[in-house]
Amino acid sequence: MSDFDHLELNENERAVGMIRPQAQLEAAFELVKPAEHWKAPIDAVVSEADLERVGGVAAVDNAIAHFCGGGAEAHYVEGGVRFIAPGYWAIIGA
């Protein structure tokens, strides 16, 4: 069970077609957000415990898509899952 299972989408989140609450997306993105800038390329390993806390691999992938405009590659590695994505600058160009 994740820390966000009890949350429901609010009216604004439903109106724009979100599938996860903003708070969950933010928590999941914090696990992979590059230290130098949130728009930079992503290459991060997330532990199994952190994945469970935020709702799994799909939650992190949804968060990357939400904040960067595109999904990520996810590879199981020792100790967790490695997420690789080009980042907001490469996907959106801004």
- For position 51, what pLDDT does the model report? 97
What pLDDT is stored for residue 6 in this prediction?
Answer: 76
In whole angstroms, give the CA distance from residue 42 to residue 68: 10
- Token pair 């439903």: residue: 14
Q: How far apart are CA 76 and CA 80, in angstroms?
A: 6
Tell me what pLDDT residue 1 has.
Answer: 65
Predicted structure pTM score: 0.88
* Both structure tokens of 77: 């590695």
User: Domain coordinates of the chain in residue numbers?
Assistant: 11-92
Give the C-alpha separation, 82 to 9, whole Å: 28
- Residue 72's SS3 state is coil
Question: Per-10-residue mean pLDDT for the chain, 94 residues long?
Answer: 76 76 94 97 98 95 94 96 97 89
